[in-house]
Amino acid sequence: MLKNRNLITLFVFLSMFFLGVGATIIGAAARNIGLTPSQIGLLIAVQNLGFMVALIICGPLADTRDKTKILLIGSLLLSLSFFTFYWKDIFSLNLMVMFVMGMGIGTYEGVTDPLLLEIHRKKEGLFISINHFFVTFGCLMITIYLLFLQMDWRQAINQAALAVLLLAFFFAVSSLKTEKKPVEPLLVRLQFLRRQKIILILFFATVCATGLEMSLIGMMTTFLMELRNHSQVTSKVGLILFLSGLGLGRLLMGFFTKRDRMLEQIMMLFGLSTIFLSGLLIVQTKALTYGLIFCSGAAVSALFPLLIAYGGILYKEMTGTVLGIIKVALPMGGILIPLALSLISTYASLEISLWMFPAIALVGFLILFLNRKTFQRRSS
């Protein structure tokens, strides 16, 4: 039985790389497959449903079961979904495949962070940030592989399925045994957390963080083409700059995060996001716009990783359950904020709707700033 913690950490990072692949595959392969916008929307919605179900199940399980065995199940689900993704051109069948894919990536999301928090005490911010850097890296690589290199999407997804199957084998022969205090039954844990105001605060802050990140990725090229007169090529350069800022920011913040100053650093990032996103909507110069896009990506980058790392630090005795609850904000932020953008752009204008971005960043800052004493009481 393999118990090397550094090797387990490496394969956890690889798992998150393939989470990024799974989360991006619809957008990357849609044109190759010939999907309509309505089909894309349904497939993504069903994937998010599977994602939420897996988070709800796997978060609490991570507190009481060997996390590597839960990751084994997630790897098998993800590998199966990759192998069968549009193997047959039957839409109802592929909806089921996307639900299974959502379960696979939701298992990874629900278990990898609690596992890293258990292995790497006192370096939580660093390892959680690196973990989520690999999600961004996976998103970038599958996009480049399928779109820029014009590779056959079926071959690419089969290769990904085989790689995830190898991850399943690794988790099957791995075991993480640590000395842990007895964990309360799930109902007792949920009753305790229901009375914890901090969980609700972190949940809403995470909705702001994830909604910002996902909506900015979705709207960046449209913003540049519609409001800044960029071409198809230069707008994609802007998106790549944003994703690059996202990835680099996660790595740098991971190294510079201090455990006892984590709340202040999260508030700082929300504040910087407010400033940079406001500047992006005001500035017209192309060079400054590119700079602000990169800085916005870097400012937004570490919000989600640091929020969940902070939640795990505050509730060490039930990390999986706490993070499972907080991470439900991922699909919530990815649904509510784009929906609000769509409504405002329809009934007002695109430019007015985009001012939601700095407003959301400011709300995230205020949620934490106004409740900082609550966090201080929990930390003491």
Architecture of domain 189-379: Up-down Bundle (1.20)
- Find residue 174's DSSP bridge partners: 2
Residue 47 to residue 349: CA distance in whole angstroms: 30
Q: What is the per-residue pLDDT for 280? A: 95
Phi, then psi, of 2 in degrees rounded to 5: -80, 125
3-state secondary structure (DSSP) of residue 348: coil
In whole angstroms, how far apart are CA 127 and each of 113, 114, 287, 330, 352? Answer: 9, 11, 33, 19, 38
**Chain region(s) in the chain for CATH 1.20.1250.20:** 5-173, 189-379
Residue 236 to residue 220: CA distance in whole angstroms: 8
The set of residues, in sequence order, having a beta carbon less than 8 Å from that of 337 and lying 6+ positions away, is: 207, 211, 212, 214, 215, 356, 360
Instruction: Report whether 303 contacts 270 (CB < 8 A).
Output: yes
Given a cut of 90, whether residue 274 has pLDDT beyond it is yes
Per-residue pLDDT, averaged over 256-266, amounts to 87
pTM: 0.81
Q: What is the per-residue pLDDT for 148? A: 64
In whole angstroms, how far apart are CA 105 and each of 71, 115, 191, 336? Answer: 10, 15, 27, 21
**pLDDT tens digits for range 285-333:** 888 999 999 999 999 999 999 998 899 888 887 888 888 888 888 877 7
3-state secondary structure (DSSP) of residue 174: strand
Per-residue pLDDT, averaged over 127-133, amounts to 88
* Burial of 323 from C-beta contacts in 10 A (0-12 / 13-18 / 19+): buried
Which CATH superfamily hosts domain 5-173? MFS general substrate transporter like domains (1.20.1250.20)
**pLDDT tens digits for range 169-199:** 999 988 776 555 566 677 777 787 777 889 9
* Burial of 102 from C-beta contacts in 10 A (0-12 / 13-18 / 19+): buried
Query: How many Cα atoms within 13 Å fall on the side-chain side of residue 372?
Result: 12
In the structure, how many helices (H) and strands (E) does the chain have? 17, 0
- The token pair that represents 272 in the structure block: 């910087």
